[in-house]
Chains A and B, each alone.
Chain A
Amino acid sequence: MNADEFLISSILELKDIDSAELTPDLTLEKLALDSLDYVEIQVGIKKHFGVDVPTDLFTSNTIKTLGELGSYIDSRTETKPVPLNA
Chain B
Amino acid sequence: MNLTFDFLAVRRWAEFSGDFNPIHFDLAHAHKVGMNKLIVHGMLALMPIKQMLARDGRTSTRAPAGWIKFKAAFRHPLAHDNNHLLATHAVGDKTSFQLSSGDANRIEHFRGSFGPVAAMPSDVPLTPQSPSMPDHRFALDRAQLALFAQTYADISEYWVALDAVVFAQFMRSGLPIVEQMVVDAYATSQSARSAPNDTDFNFNFKSNKVVVQTSHCVTVDATLDAMLSAKLDSTLDATPNSSPDATLNSDKGDLHWALMPPVLLIHGTQVSGSVSLPVYHDNRLVMLVEIGLLAKVSHAPLLQ
Q: Which size class do B's interface residues fall under?
A: 20 to 34
1/0 per position for B249-289, CB-CB distance to A under 8 A? 00000000000000101011000111000000000000000
Considering only CB atoms, which chain A residue lies closest to B69 in the complex?
Answer: A13
1/0 per position for B79-110, CB-CB distance to A under 8 A? 00000000000010000101000000000000
What residues of chain B lie closer than 8 Å to A39, measured between beta carbons?
Answer: 214, 265, 272, 292, 294
Report the minimal beta-carbon distance from B212 to chain A, rounded to whole angstroms.
Answer: 10
What residues of chain A lie closer than 8 Å to B123, measured between beta carbons?
Answer: 82
CA distance A55 to B294 in the complex (A): 14
What residues of chain B lie closer than 8 Å to A40, measured between beta carbons?
Answer: 73, 214-215, 292
Q: Number of residue pairs across A and B with beta carbons under 8 Å?
A: 63
Considering only CB atoms, which chain A residue lies closest to B75 in the complex?
Answer: A36
The total of chain A residues at the interface (CB under 8 A) is 23
CA distance A53 to B74 in the complex (A): 22
Which among A13, A16, A46, A85 is the interface contact of B263 at CB below 8 angstroms? A46
At the interface, yes or no: B112 with Cβ under 8 Å from chain A?
yes
What residues of chain B lie closer than 8 Å to A84, measured between beta carbons?
Answer: 118-122
Answer whether A13 and B112 are a contact pair too, CB < 8 Å, given A54-B267, A85-B126.
Answer: yes
What residues of chain B lie closer than 8 Å to A16, measured between beta carbons?
Answer: 91, 96, 98, 111
Is A46's CB under 8 angstroms from B122's CB? no
Considering only CB atoms, which chain B residue lies closest to A16 in the complex?
Answer: B96
Answer whether A47 and B120 are a contact pair too, CB < 8 Å, given A13-B113, A14-B111, A36-B214.
Answer: no
Which residues from chain A sit less than 8 Å from chain B, CB to CB?
12-14, 16, 34, 36-37, 39-40, 42-44, 46-48, 52, 54-55, 82-86
* 7 tightest A-B CB contacts, nearest first: A84-B119, A85-B120, A47-B263, A39-B272, A85-B122, A43-B274, A55-B267
